[in-house]
Structure 1
Amino acid sequence: MDTLLQNASSLFFNSSLSTTPKISRYQVRFSIPPNHKPRTRRRAFTLNMAHTPVTLLAVEQHKVIIPNKHGEKLVGILHESGSREIVILCHGFRSSKESNSLVNLAAALENARMSSFRFDFAGNGESDGSFQYGYYWREAEDLRAVIQHFHESNRGVSAIVGHSKGGGVVLLYASKYHDIKTVVNLSGRYDLKVGIEERLGKDHIERIRKDGFIDVTRSGNFEYRVTLESLMDRLDTNMHEACLQIDKECRVLTVHGSLDKVVPTDDAYEFAKIIPNHKLHIIEGADHSFTNHQDELASVVVNFIKETLHQDRSTAN
């Protein structure tokens, strides 16, 4: 039972990336990989057909736990769409695999019949470890552990996608390891020396040198601690120098919102200047998280990945 086809009135999906696309015809394909194990979770979604709701079991999801090189367990959700290739989705600062952008991108990739894996970096979400400010390179090593896990499972990684801090992480990964041909940077920061004062205050250097740390609070509630070591780790991470090391064969897409108030749009243009094989897409009116532009974000990202996969297959043939 390698492949099961279910047809309903000889219908097929249209090209919409909405979670409830308007369709007239559809076909659902379930591919069962060799030596598959029972899934722990399944995702159902509703399609509108002639104004009559139809619920279909579309894509299987299950939790995967991967140890990093420090022995910490990284927890993620594998969206199994039947493809051998997987897209890895990386969250941003103080976020998790459950962020709207990652969940919506996973759904859009499902519609395009591409498998994906969204996971929590160490110290975030469900993963082991304590939250650390900075540590971009350490998160790049978490990503390395995830990619190696899938390679050892005979799965290919077709693209890595990161939002905000995760955008920086996927670029750092590409600069050090040269095994991924498609990288997507969403709202990533080019100059890591910028944006610190907004969170830590104007006198943060003096305070942290005096006390050894700064506790960040919101509305009087503790959120996280910034140590001198973690602050210096961020300040010493040079995105410019790293991006110069990205292979020219590696295709990089940067997507940024024109109304991003967290990371200025100028950062996106700086990436475009120095990354050799780079495409830039500015979404007009979008904020840092693409709050009201999720459909456009998904369309741009999925189409870019599909184009690069087509290029790779054409070259292989």
Structure 2
Amino acid sequence: MKTETVTFPGAAGQTLSGRLERPVGIPRAWAVFAHCFTCGKESAAATRVSRALAKHGFAVLRFDFAGIGHSDGAFAQTTFSSNVDDLVAAADFIRSVYGPPSLLIGHSLGGAAVLAAAGRIADAAAVVTIGAPADVAHVEQNFADAVGTIEAHGAADVKLGGKPFTISRDFLQDIRNQPQLKRIAALRKALLILHAPGDGVVGIDNATVIFQAAKHPKSFVSLDKADHFLTRPEDAAYAADLIAGWSARYVPVPPMPVHPEGYVVAEETGDGLYANLVHSGQHMILADEPKDIGGQDLGPSPYDLLAGSLAACKSMTMRMYANQKKWDVTRIAVAVKHDKVHAADCADCETREGKIDQFTVSITLEGDLDDTQRARMIEISGKCPVHRTLSGEVKIRTQVTA
């Protein structure tokens, strides 16, 4: 996983600042994350959920709305509607540079923003809200003491989250005039609503209103003991797990790269010195080296993969045999360890100098088997194809394709 800093033009021409969380290999989908009111892209919820989703294979753009964080513009000149426009601009940027933004995620007022923007983003197949208000005007409670001043004088300076912001009359009127329930009813996209029962900022009754207004497919999942801002890392990870699992039904998976039939292909990910993504048909496995030799330990080492191949082959071979014999074998587990050992220490090896490769195999068999049957199963494990390949003559032919 890696984080890239990106900039792109907002709806009104300002330069908006974003972070793109990218997974290793080809992303399952491209997503846009909208942050909460005045929070910014570096908020705990935005950062943690985006990075956790990247571990699930999603590429996620989290960005600052105009006038927030590192984005250009003056907050006093923005409105909820301009934030929605910036969200559409972010989706346009992802589409033009990377791929279709098929997943929209919003936290708190950002959740209201993705609901408002979804109808303008045709690629978006699924929408997720986290602690979102059903009525955009709900955010008014954050500066309730200044509303009279704003209405009378056109603006007021307030402190939100310990930081100064200027709230304009235009902003106030804009949040009060949003047809949010009509938008939700017309969404026509898969919707996942995540909300914590104990949310003290945006009450859970908001989730009920959103759920009732939306058409199917729609889902609601409680975030249990999480707070509104997902301050605990485990709550953000849980939210990401839910999003990843739920969206698999609705978000289209990109086609896998085409490789020569019958070949398993390893290619560098660019994440660290040695990380490679191994493609086998439609399957992907991340391989890396341990940290003590310069890798990042992002996946099993090449020798671990080889040991895993031997273990899986032995397990499958024994299962096939047990099923054919109709033996009562309830569990098979095979552990394999690879070592380089001195040939002189190997009593039954033909090679007598240097080092040789040694695979130590430990087999667990559970079920109603007698000693003869167990011995036969162990013998059969030695006939698995990978075992025979590793212990037989092997020829490796190398050709350069480019």
TM-score (normalised: structure 1)? 0.72
SS in 2 for 1:309: coil
Residue 308, structure 1, aligned to residue 280, structure 2: no
Structure 1 pair 224/304, CA: closer, same or farther in 2 (3 Å)?
Answer: same
1:239-250 mapped onto 2 (5 Å cutoff): 239-247=180-188, 250=189
Q: How far, CA to CA, are the matches of 1:312 and 1:304 in structure 2?
A: 17
Q: 1:28 is matched with which residue?
A: none
Q: 1:234 is matched with which residue?
A: 175
1:121-200 mapped onto 2 (5 Å cutoff): 121-132=65-76, 135-200=79-144
The question of whether the paired residues in 2 share the 8 Å contact of 1:105 and 1:298 is answered with: yes
SS in 2 for 1:159: strand
Q: 1:283 is matched with which residue?
A: 223
The partner residue of 1:253 within 192, 199, 223 is: 192
SS in 1 for 2:249: helix
SS in 1 for 2:123: coil
Q: 1:13 is matched with which residue?
A: none
Q: How far, CA to CA, are the matches of 2:223 and 2:181 in structure 1?
A: 23
Point out the more displaced range, 114-123 or 75-84.
75-84
Q: How far, CA to CA, are the matches of 2:60 and 2:34 in structure 1?
A: 11
Instruction: For 2:9, give the aligned amino acid.
Output: P
Q: 2:45 is matched with which residue?
A: 101
The question of whether the paired residues in 2 share the 8 Å contact of 1:200 and 1:214 is answered with: no
Q: How far, CA to CA, are the matches of 1:272 and 1:76 in structure 2?
A: 30
Query: How many percent of aligned residue pairs carry the same amino acid?
Result: 24
Unaligned runs of 5+ in 1: 1-58
Structure 1 pair 198/98, CA: closer, same or farther in 2 (3 Å)?
Answer: closer
Unaligned runs of 5+ in 2: 256-402
TM-score (normalised: structure 2)? 0.58
Could you list the per-position Cα deviations for residues 74-124 of structure 1 after superposition, in whole angstroms to 9, with x for gaps in the alignment?
111122223253111111111111111121122222221222211111111
Q: How far, CA to CA, are the matches of 1:179 and 1:213 in structure 2?
A: 37
The question of whether the paired residues in 2 share the 8 Å contact of 1:182 and 1:305 is answered with: yes
Q: 2:63 is matched with which residue?
A: 119
Q: How far, CA to CA, are the matches of 1:134 and 1:68 in structure 2?
A: 12
Larger radius of gyration: 2
The partner residue of 2:54 within 89, 103, 110 is: 110
Could you list the per-position Cα deviations for residues 264-306 of structure 1 after superposition, in whole angstroms to 9, with x for gaps in the alignment?
1000011110111211111222221122322322221222223
Q: How far, CA to CA, are the matches of 2:159 and 2:92 in structure 1?
A: 37
Query: Greater relative contact order (Cα 8 A, min sep 6): structure 1 or 2?
Result: 1
Matched residue count: 250
Instruction: For 2:63, give the aligned amino acid.
Output: F
Shift of 1:228: 1.3
1:73-88 mapped onto 2 (5 Å cutoff): 73-81=15-23, 82-84=25-27, 85-88=29-32
Structure 1 pair 61/296, CA: closer, same or farther in 2 (3 Å)?
Answer: closer
Instruction: For 1:234, give the aligned amino acid.
Output: I
Q: RMSD between aligned alpha carbons?
A: 2.4
Structure 1 pair 83/156, CA: closer, same or farther in 2 (3 Å)?
Answer: farther
Which structure's residues are more often strand, by fraction? 1
Instruction: For 2:246, give the aligned amino acid.
Output: F
Shift of 1:67: 0.3
Which structure's residues are more often helix, by fraction? 2
